[in-house]
Amino acid sequence: MTFDTATYQKHSARVETEDIDFATFRDQPLEPDALRCLRYMHDVESHTVCYLRDVLVTRAHRDPDITSFLTMWNYEEYWHGDAIGRVLAAHDEVAGTSRIAALRQRLPKGDRWRPLGFQVASALTPHLTAVHMTWGAVNEWTTQAAYARLVKLADHPTLATLLKRIMKQEGRHIDFYASQADGRLANSRAAQRVTRWALRKYWAPVGTGVVDDTEVDFLRTYLFGDEDGRSMAERIDRRVDRLPGLGGLHLLTDAVAA
Ligand SMILES: [Fe+2]
Ligand SMILES: [Fe+2]
């Protein structure tokens, strides 16, 4: 598994929305459950810069391959949040800066200590970057699967066009994180042990701790609670299983069952 940063630099861009007619949502609005999902996705995409903050305080910032990728990744995720915000706005929902400001005000008090926690963890183990890269792969796999499920469940052509474009970019994010995770885990049994321990102890679906727990539960049930959703969760678990030393964690199937 390899990732070519130069090719990614060439393709990295703001997700194309110029030709998307957001006014179609006025005539054909989304169902309330699909909108509820999009609120979650808007909030999580818009939170990417805060996840970036937590990575940059660790020794990962010394790796130029990682920082080059993260620069473009953050930019693309920003525009994912913005595009989803335009769908919400077409339904007269609050989106963008005012929604993000309110969300950040509601973050748990412990959020301010997260960078310090990551700094300390980075000083204690040289393998935190392996954990971050693996965590990123799992979250990007999950995000892409969530969009695929929403395309199917919402059954709305304009939304499908937008989300498939976003999914294409998520695919490149997956390629980066999975190749980094694979390489770092293959090189070190200690990295495997630390990453396995961290995922088992701390991993939770992306958005946990940022949006309300009721919304995490809703998304988990709505997107992954039926047979198709469960088989998608199993597929992600099989991808995790293929990473060196990470077999049998069942992160996604356990999260869905919970
Ligand atoms: Fe995204
Ligand atoms: Fe992504």
* Three-state secondary structure readout of the chain: CCCCHHHHHHHCCCCCCCCCCCCHHHHCCCCHHHHHHHHHHHHHHHCHHHHHHHHHCCHHHHCHHHHHHHHHHHHHHHHHHHHHHHHHHHCCCCCCHHHHHHHHHHCCHHHHHHHHHHHHHHHHCCCHHHHHHHHHHHHHHHHHHHHHHHHHHHCCHHHHHHHHHHHHHHHHHHHHHHHHHHHHHHCCHHHHHHHHHHHHHHCCCCCECCECHHHHHHHHHHHHCCHHHHHHHHHHHHHHHHCCCCCCCCHHHHHHHC
| Confidence at residue 258, expressed as pLDDT on a 0 to 100 scale | 80
Q: Which ligand is nearest to the CA of 140?
A: 2
Q: What share of the chain in percent tops pLDDT 70?
A: 100
- Centre of ligand 2 to C-alpha 89, Å, is 22
- Centre of ligand 1 to C-alpha 77, Å, is 4
- Centre of ligand 1 to C-alpha 170, Å, is 6
- Centre of ligand 2 to C-alpha 77, Å, is 6
- Centre of ligand 1 to C-alpha 235, Å, is 20
Provide the whole-model pTM: 0.96
- Centre of ligand 1 to C-alpha 59, Å, is 24
List, for the chain, all residue ranges whose pLDDT scores fall below the cut of 50: none
- Centre of ligand 2 to C-alpha 197, Å, is 24
Q: Which ligand is nearest to the CA of 73?
A: 2
- Centre of ligand 1 to C-alpha 254, Å, is 23
Q: Who's near 127: CB < 8 A, 6+ residues apart?
A: 184, 188, 190, 191, 194, 195
Distance of alpha carbon 88 from alpha carbon 92, whole angstroms: 7
| Confidence at residue 109, expressed as pLDDT on a 0 to 100 scale | 87
- Centre of ligand 1 to C-alpha 43, Å, is 11
Q: Which ligand is nearest to the CA of 69?
A: 2
- Centre of ligand 1 to C-alpha 209, Å, is 18
Q: Which ligand is nearest to the CA of 163?
A: 1
> pLDDT of 42-56, one tens digit each?
999 999 999 999 999
| Confidence at residue 17, expressed as pLDDT on a 0 to 100 scale | 97
